[in-house]
Structures are given as C-alpha cells and as structure tokens.
Amino acid sequence: MGILDFLTGEFIDVIHWTDDTRDTMVWRFEREGHEIKYGAKLTVREGQAAVFVHEGVIADVFTPGLYFLETNNMPVLTTLQHWDHGFRSPFKSEIYFVNTTRFGNRKWGTRNPVILRDPEFGPMRIRAYGTYAIKVTDPALFLREIVGTDGEFTMDEISFQIRNIIVQEFSRVIAQSGIPVLDMAANTDELGKIVAEQISGTLAQYGLSIPELYVENISLPAAVEDALDKRSSMGVIGDLRRYTEFSVGEALNASGGTIGAGLGAGMGIGMGMAAGTQMAGQAAPGLWGPWGTRPAASPPAETAVAGAGALPPPPPPAVERLWHIAENGKSHGPYSRAALGRMANEGALSRDTLVWSAGLDGWQRAGDITELAQLFTVLPPPPPES
C-alpha cells in the first residue's frame, strides 16, 4: 500500500451530529478552513437533514442515511465544480445539520386584549393563550430564509416571530368567527385548527410547518366576569320573595331559634324591604293636615324628656316563628302561622301532620302544639232556624 493510500485512509473525514440540547434547530459542522476531504463519510440520523453548502451556494440536501462525499453520488455539486480524485484535492464547503423533529410545548398568548363584537353582549375584549409545535419541512429554504450563516441556530431565535404570527391570525379569526363569548370554551379545538390552517401558508415561506396549535384558555376582563357571575347568581336565586323567606328561616335555624341571635340576621332583610316605605313617608314635608292646618312638628327629644328623665328604648319587635312540614319523607317550608292556617282550612294540614320549628326537640304532631292546635278548633254548630 502506497503512502498516498495510507494517508487517505488515516485522515478520512467522519461528519455527523448528535444533539443533546433539545433546542438547537441548525448546527454547522466546524472544520478548520472549511476543508472537507474528497470521499468523506457523512452520517445523517433520523430526525435530521444535512444541507451541503459549497462556496456560499446550497449544493444538495441529504436525508437520513450514510453517504460518501464523492462526485458519483453528488451530481448537483459536480456541476458546480469539477473535483480531482484523491487526497490531494480537498474542497472548501460547509455542512449544516438541520433538526427536523417537532419542537413542541411552545407558548403563545395575546399580550394585548383582542376586541371583537359579540352577538349577545356587543363589543368585548378577550385574552387567550395556548401552546403550539413547530417543525422544519424544507431544510434548504429554512437555511436560506431564516438561518443564513448562523453556526448554531436555536428555537428561541425564531419563537418570538412565530408567536407574533399566531397572535395576528388568532385575532383575525376570532373577530370574524361570530362565535358568542359564552360558547368559545366549547370551540377552542376548532379555533386552534382554523388558526393553524391560516398560518400554514405564511410559515411555508420559511420552510416551516405548525402541526399542532392549542387554545388553552380564553378569558374576559375582571369587571365583565364579575357581571356575568352576578347575572348567573340572579338566575339561580329565581323568586326573590321566596329566597328572602328562605334566608330568614336559615338565619333562625343557625341561631338555634332564639330571638336575640336571629334578630340581627333576620331583621336585616326585613328592614331593607321596609326602608323604602318609611323613607317615602318622611319625604313629604309640604303636605297639609286635616281641616286645612299644617301638622305640628314633633318636639325635640330634649323637650319630650325634660324633667322626667330619659325614656327607655322601645322593645324590639318579635320575630315571627316559622314552621317546616314533613310529608312523604321530605320536608318543605318554612311557613308562617297564617300560611299554616290557610293550609288547615284547605285540608292540606291536619292534626297528625308532623311539623318542626327552631327550639323543638324534633318533629311533632301539629295537634300536640298549643300554638297550632288553635288552627283545628271544632266548627260551631249550624245557626238555629228563624
């Protein structure tokens, strides 16, 4: 074996790339003087592509496999420059390895609110965020349009530009979709597919594709969310009068049936309902009294109690006792005594009906309670004949 064959075997190039960064999209194989020997062995692994650049011009793109860089398997490069065979003729070229796997779990979101016209609520402002995946589909075009001569190009260098493209298309799609705000949560999957389809043409110009795009959340301003919560609460409450009665009964049950403890909780609701009537009576100072005379003004408090000492405050009004009825294994109420009287007259309440109120040890027959036994008095006999 001659010395030339020995040197050729000893100094043969082995070109390959193993990536452990999980973020590198393009990596340039570094060689001093960019001299790659004729017949060098090029290994391209799955999930990679190798772009061969000769004298600043993209010569060829190699898919996964094992290659020997010779003119017989590089017809494109052969047309650019004729090589002499052998160790004496290295060629100055560059090889860029491109990662063609998916770069997933990338974040996107609207920095500013998106304004749209909701068919039910009118103009609205919303925000949204989600994730996406990006992939290089045309290594040569991606190298030409985005990377240039960068020796190590990472995902962070292009993620900001891709996020801007996603937000721009999302704003346009969501404004034209006509989907009500309250129904957007049920259509996030469809919105993600539409946005991905709309931006695929723009990304294809860079040699990229977006196989996945997810809309994880669409939110409204805090003030609008509070208004929606109040509207939902009113829908749950329903009849305000019955809700007030229920609240009073719950306050009494929580206080153990005592007037002193339940007064603060129960009177607040009743006082609010009666405040309008009281204020209306006090807001008519110009009305005339009987016989065409103006009513006398009430004496000051100091005059009323002069020489007689301070008068004691009036006692608080008694809170009416409320009752619950048990029928067929279920309880319903609360009912006032007047309501129970009407039910007794209609036959819906009898002496054997089980009732309960705060302060009782348990359910008792209505006829055994003195306060309710009066509702079941015997009817008087028919009047005598005239």
Residue 55 lies in a domain: yes
Indicate whether 108 and 179 sit together in one domain: yes
Identify the helix (H) or strand (E) that includes residue 127.
strand 122-136
- Confidence band of 287 (pLDDT split at 50, 70, 90): very low
Give the pLDDT confidence of 78-108 residue by residue, as tens digits. Answer: 444 544 444 445 667 889 999 999 999 999 9
The torsion defined by the Cα of 256, 261, 263 and 266, in degrees rounded to 10, comes to -50
Indicate whether 179 and 167 sit together in one domain: yes
Residue 241 lies in a domain: no
Indicate whether 147 and 39 sit together in one domain: no
Indicate whether 169 and 91 sit together in one domain: no
290 pLDDT more than 70:
no
Residue 18 lies in a domain: yes
Domain count, the chain: 3
For residues 370 and 364, what is the distance between their CA atoms, to the nearest angstrom? Answer: 11
pTM score above 0.85: no
Q: What is the pLDDT of residue 381?
A: 59
Per-residue burial over 315-349, b if 16 or more Cβ lie within 10 Å, else e, is eeeebeebbbbeeeeeeebbbeeeebbebbeeeeb
Phi/psi at 211 (5° precision): -70, -20
Q: What is the pLDDT of residue 51?
A: 93
CATH number at residue 120: 3.30.479.30
Q: What is the mean pLDDT of residues 11-21?
A: 79
| 215, 250, 323, 333 from 243: Cα distances, Å | 40, 10, 16, 11
| 16, 135, 168, 203, 283 from 103: Cα distances, Å | 21, 6, 21, 14, 73
Residue 10 lies in a domain: yes
Q: What is the pLDDT of residue 210?
A: 94
56 pLDDT more than 70:
yes
Indicate whether 84 and 8 sit together in one domain: yes
Instruction: Supply 217's token pair.
Output: 């959340």
Give the pLDDT confidence of 148-201 residue by residue, as tens digits. Answer: 888 899 999 999 999 999 999 999 888 888 888 888 888 889 889 999 999 999
Indicate whether 84 and 114 sit together in one domain: no
For residues 103 and 133, what is the distance between their CA atoms, to the nearest angstrom? Answer: 5
Which region holds residue 82: left if phi is over 0, alpha if psi is between -120 and 50, else beta? beta
The parent domain of residue 337 ranges over 323-376
